Amino acid sequence: MSKNTRVVITGLGVCSPIGTGLKAFKAGLKKGISGIRYHEILEQQNYRCHIGGLPLLEQKQIDAFTKQYGLVKMKGTGIIYGCMAGLEAWYDAGLELLPSKSSQAAWDYGCIFGTCTNGIDAIDYGISLVDTGNVRKMGGRTAQQAMNSGVSAYLGGIIGIGNQLTTNSSSCITGVEAALEGFNRIREGKSSIVLVGSAESSHHNVWGGYDGMTLYDDFYALAKGYNDRPEKGSCPMSTGANGLVPGSGGGAMVLESLQSAQKRGARIYGELLGGSLICGAQRAGGTMTINNRQSMEDVIGFALEAAKISPDEIDLVCGHLPSYIMDVYEVQALAGALKRKGNDFPYINALKSMTGHCFAASSSLELVATALQLQDQFIHPTLNAEQLDQEIAAIVPRSKVPLKSIKKRLNIVAKTSYGFGDVAGCVMVRHWPEGVK
Amino acid sequence: MNDRIVITGLGVLSPNGIGVKKFTSAIRKGKSGIKFYPELREHAFRCQIGGVPALSEKDRLAFLEKHQIQEVFSTGITYGCIAAAQAWKDSGLAFPKASDGADYTSGCIFGTGSNGIEATHYGIALRESGQDTRKGNPRALPQAINSAVSAYIAKILGLGNQVTSNASACNTGTEAILMAFEKIRSGAATRMLVGSSESNSPYVWGPFDSMFATAHGFNDRPQKASRPMDKDAAGFVPSSGAGALVLESLSTAQKRGARIYAEILGGHINSGGQRGKGTMTIGNVNGMVRCIRNGLKSCGVLPGQIDLISGHLSSTIGDITEINAWVKALNRKGTDFPYINSMKSMIGHCLSASGSIESVAAVLQLYHGFIHPSINADELHPEIGQLIAHDCVPPKAIMDIALDIVCKISFGFGDVNSCLVLKKFKA
């Protein structure tokens, strides 16, 4: 194998505030529905922001799933979302689980599945028992759910993964990072198939933490003034963008060498061309919570270089766009790196306008959306972006931020991602023409 | 691109010594870092002993102030940052000023399993105390994110390449080294700060206590509790700390005249798939054997060339599976088996931090030419004694021994494995 190995996407799975399962998710994307709701518990806890996006999932679906896969005493919501999305992607790619009585593992199949705080449900449970002197009642299933790699460990056991099985964590770029790590494993010939993705738990402490956090000066992180109109709260690129809306969920993709996909006759959603992962080192205006703007721009340039494409080849940017000042910085970084503005600027959209910011899960969900848009040749809307922020409007014309989903010929989509710790990621994905094998 | 990759800096916060100098001296002597902790008895833990790096409050505060990260209260993040800064300095590298730009050629893979525990606890306690949740510390939350340790390290060292935190349970540290090795080899970076850390908290240890994984029956004899390979091994001793290494391409290291501790030849990362006898918590021996064989194959090292194995060996039933895997993979047994030792015999099981602390120990042994003792292996477990000679497990340090190839192995929950092959550096 060599650097010439091509890597394609052959399976997708999703558990999101606008729909669980590919079919529902795709319908939600095309319609432009909002998954943001008011949540009473947030008001009871006296948080500032009472709105958020939880995956559309009923308890009986969760019960059936945990029963089917023997997930005994499963408390980790993020682990459930990750396993649901991961297994959907696995089956969607036409792959099977390794029989449980096999003594060997699937040595050529790996899994890199990230998260930031999936252990929180088990940790919360464990802390209360330790504090009350009841550590012995915790039982034998807590450690594996409290550790950060719980989600990959469960997926690995269900599928029978025999290649690298790990969990990456780099705050909100986790999903893009997992995809690029999987891409590298396949390129280097270490694996023919890697299940990649990321998940984030639905625990009010995850959201509560962000609620009490300032991004800079006394600017609190979460959306303000939208508690009575939740669906308007996440409004990337708009004049009303004043903080992110928290969300949770899981997204997954099966990445595969073209050779393996062709041999299996697998359906191909798109080709991963490559990308870049860098850090601004919290220098030059970058902090733990706001990105170094030079590195925001540089990561796009490095990704173009890695993918061997030119700036004008990009038809659509599936942005990070969290719905605050970072939106402006991101659009300016794109304009700088691509040297495109006005009518020449590519189309741009923000999934977070519908799902909120699903943190570690966000860029996996956005990659699934990217693959679906490439496959079906459409651009999903950005909700609540009627009134573009002035500084954004100076670069991007109204027509490039569709408010309704539009059909469009797309060849290359750039997916940008930025995160706490001043980390930046960008990956390029290309359309795979139907019928081409 | 296919430049050789070397280790040029080390840092460590171990229960038996902080800093390379003290740690080297401790592991030569076979010094135990395991102690009784009354707090654990108060919490009604079965196992009331553990290992914690003896970091003084004064040193902790001085470090945080020096690097302008006074908000850090997570022990795991603190350990990780201190170990990373030690390794960087040890490597002869300068600490960039805040005004310097990010160095896009240097990155960081620094793993952890539960460094966020203190910040998570802080948030939960705030909520449950009935206080105004809006009055929390706004700088607490970023520490709950699993990648916080790598983010802080990048800030201190000005790292601009990939900066991330991996997690694969107790396999984390060794996996981080191999992942960084691949980054440099593929040309994506020229230098990587790697390592792992684990917080010191009863909330980290509690779940293991509850699942009967930790040592029982040794609360009155802490230093005897961690006894890998011994017939009386009865569970691991939980501990905490951090290890860090600077990896770089040989050409970069030579160009700046850096001291070279050792060369990384290769290795392998895999999983046993929780198949065979493997489960979430017990390794599939077939996965381990394959991990060792592929690790050696990746760099063309033959089983007969291995001088020392730095085992995972946690003082549990898993020790027997591990020895079986080595014997099968190498086809060496009895007195023909290489030397093997367990760092955990002295410091307990530092969980996510274990692989990196033990790798630091492996590198030090290779560099200085000694083998640290594996304490408390007084009488080998009969199933282990059948496979390897007791002489392969040194009860006291072996000084002045020329080592050429050392293998470091780690395993973790989820049935994950990593095997790293290190070589004495020769230009």
Domain count across chain B: 2
pLDDT tens digits, B175-205: 999 999 999 999 999 999 999 999 999 999 9
| Chain B residue nearest residue A145, CA to CA | B207
What pLDDT score does B304 carry? 98
Give contacts of B154 with chain A, Cβ < 8 Å: 279, 281-282, 421-422
CATH architecture classification, A7-264: 3-Layer(aba) Sandwich (3.40)
Q: Are residues B217 and B278 in the same domain?
A: no
CATH number for the domain spanning B217: value is 3.40.47.10
Can you read off the two tokens belonging to residue B353? Answer: 């931090």
Instruction: Flag if A147 and B286 touch (Cβ within 8 Å).
Output: no
Q: If you ran DSSP here, which 8-state letter would residue A180 be given?
A: H
Let me know: does A128 contact B235? Beta carbons within 8 Å: no
For every residue of B376-405, DSSP letters joined together read T-SSB-HHHHTTB-GGGS-SS-B-S----E
Q: Do B389 and B311 fall into the same domain?
A: yes
**Is B414 in contact with A149 (Cβ distance < 8 A)?**
yes
Across the interface, which of A117, A138, A168 has its CB nearest the CB of B144?
A: A117
Instruction: Pick A274-431's CATH classification: 1.20.120.10, 3.40.47.10, 3.40.190.10, 3.30.70.1280.
Output: 3.40.47.10
Q: Are B233 and B281 members of one domain?
A: no
Domain A7-264 identical in fold to domain A274-431 = yes
Task: Tell me the pLDDT tens digit for each residue of B109-137.
Answer: 999 988 888 888 888 887 777 777 677 77
In a domain, B262, yes or no: no
Which of B202, B233, B255 is the C-terminal boundary of a domain? B255
Antiparallel, parallel or unpaired: β A109-115 and A7-16: unpaired
- CA distances in angstroms from A363 to A43, A293, B156, listed in the order given: 28, 19, 27
In a domain, B153, yes or no: yes
Mutate to test the interface with B, among A116, A145, A169 (most CBs of B within 10 A): A169
pLDDT on residue A391: 98
Token look-up 């300032």 returns: A214
Chain A partners within 8 Å of B45 (Cβ): 135
Q: What is the pLDDT of residues A90-119, one digit of tens each?
A: 999 999 999 999 999 999 999 999 998 878
CB A326 within 8 A of CB A320: yes
Closest chain B C-alpha to A147 CA, distance in angstroms = 5
Identify which of B101, B139, B269 has the shortest CB distance to residue A164.
B269
What's the rounded Cα separation, in Å, for the pair A124 and A407? 46
DSSP character at residue B274 = T
Q: B24 to chain A, minimum CA–CA distance in Å?
A: 30
- Does B106 share its domain with B11? yes
Rounded-to-integer distance, Cα B78 and Cα A264, Å: 49
Using an 8 Å Cβ cutoff, are A210 and A219 in contact?
no
Query: How close A301 gets to chain B, by Cα (Å)?
Result: 13
pLDDT: is B120 or B337 the higher one? B337
What Cα–Cα distance (Å) separates residue B24 from each residue in A34, A42, B13, B30, B314?
A: 58, 51, 12, 10, 21
Section A39-47 average pLDDT: 89
Per the DSSP assignment, residues forming a β-bridge with A109 are: A193
β strands within B190-261, DSSP E: 191-198, 241-249
What residues of chain B lie within 8 A of the CB of A294, using their CB?
101
Residues of chain A in contact with residue B286, where contact means CB-CB under 8 angstroms, are 103-105
Residues of chain A with Cβ-Cβ distance to B100 below 8 Å are 283
In a shared domain, residues B230 and B361: no
pLDDT in tens, A365-417: 999 999 999 999 999 999 999 999 999 999 999 999 999 999 999 999 999 99
* Nearest Cβ partner for A169 among B102, B167, B412: B167
The beta-carbon neighbor of B271 closest among A124, A156, A283 is: A156
B364-380: average pLDDT: 98
Domain span at B134: 5-255
pLDDT of residue A435: 60
Q: Does the beta-carbon distance from A117 to B44 stay under 8 Å?
A: no
pLDDT tens for each residue of A179-238:
999 999 999 999 999 999 999 999 877 887 888 888 888 888 999 999 999 999 999 999
pLDDT band at B2 (very low <50, low <70, confident <90, very high): low
Is 70 exceeded by the pLDDT of residue A312? yes
B329 lies in the same domain as B245: no
Residue A36 CA to residue A200 CA, distance in Å, equals: 16
B273, B324: one domain: yes
Over its C-alpha atoms, chain A yields an Rg (Å, rounded) of 20
Q: Are the beta carbons of B133 and A422 separated by less than 8 Å?
A: no
DSSP string spanning B50-103?
Answer: EE-----HHHHHHHHHHTT-TT---HHHHHHHHHHHHHHHHTTPPPPPTTS--B
- Tell whether B148 and B10 lie within a shared domain: yes
Cα separation values, B381 from B88, B319, B324, B385, B412, Å: 41, 9, 12, 6, 22
How high does pLDDT run on average in chain B? 95
pLDDT tens across B209-250, in order?
A: 998 899 999 999 999 999 999 999 999 999 999 999 999 999
Test B164 with A168 for CB contact under 8 angstroms. Answer: yes
CA B405 – CA B263 distance, rounded (Å): 10
- Taking contacts as CB-CB distances below 8 angstroms, the residues of chain A near B202 are 130, 135
User: Would you give the DSSP letter of residue A270?
Assistant: E
Inter-chain residue contact B133 with A138, CB threshold 8 Å: no
Domain boundary residue among B206, B233, B255?
B255
| Structural tokens at position A248 | 């949770």
| DSSP helix/strand/coil, B238 | strand
Burial letters for A381-413: b for 16+ Cβ neighbours within 10 Å, e otherwise?
A: bbbbbeebbeebeebbeeebbbeebeeeebbbb
**What's the confidence (pLDDT) of residue A1?**
45
Residue B107 belongs to some domain of the structure = yes
pTM over 0.80: yes
Tokens 């923000």 correspond to A350
Answer yes or no: are the C-beta atoms of B360 and B12 closer than 8 Å: yes
Angstrom distances, CA of residue B273 to CA of A203, B281, B330, B374: 29, 11, 22, 30
Residue A368 CA, chain-centre distance (Å), reads 8
Residues of B with Cβ-Cβ distance to A303 under 8 angstroms? none
Domain boundaries, chain A: 7-264, 274-431
Cβ(A162)–Cβ(B273) below 8 Å:
yes
- Give A3's pLDDT tier (boundaries 50, 70, 90): low
Say how far apart CA A397 and CA A391 lie, in whole Å: 11
What does the CA dihedral A355, A356, A359, A365 come to, rounded to 10 degrees? 20
Report the alpha-carbon distance of residue B192 to residue B200 in Å, rounded: 26
Residue B129: what pLDDT?
Answer: 77
The reply to whether B110 and B132 lie within a common domain is yes
- Check whether residue B303 and residue B387 sit in a common domain: yes
Cβ–Cβ below 8 Å for A170 and B150 = yes
Query: Buried b vs exposed e over A112-135: b needs ≥16 C-beta within 10 Å?
Result: bbbbbbbbbbbbbbbbebbbeeeb
Residue A343 identity: N
Q: Residue B385 forms beta bridges with which residues?
A: none
> Are B198 and B271 found together in one domain?
no
Is pLDDT larger for residue A213 or for residue B390? B390
Identify which of A377, A324, A327 has the alpha carbon closest to the alpha carbon of residue A349: A327
Q: Quick one: pLDDT at residue B133?
A: 67
- B375 and B229, same domain (yes or no): no
End residue of a domain, out of B222, B255, B288: B255
Contact B138 A213 (CB under 8 A): yes
For residue A270, which of A98, A111, A100, A430 has the smallest C-alpha distance? A430
Looking at every residue in chain A, the average pLDDT score rounds to 94
How near does any CA of chain B get to the CA of A306, in Å?
A: 10
Residue B314 lies in a domain: yes
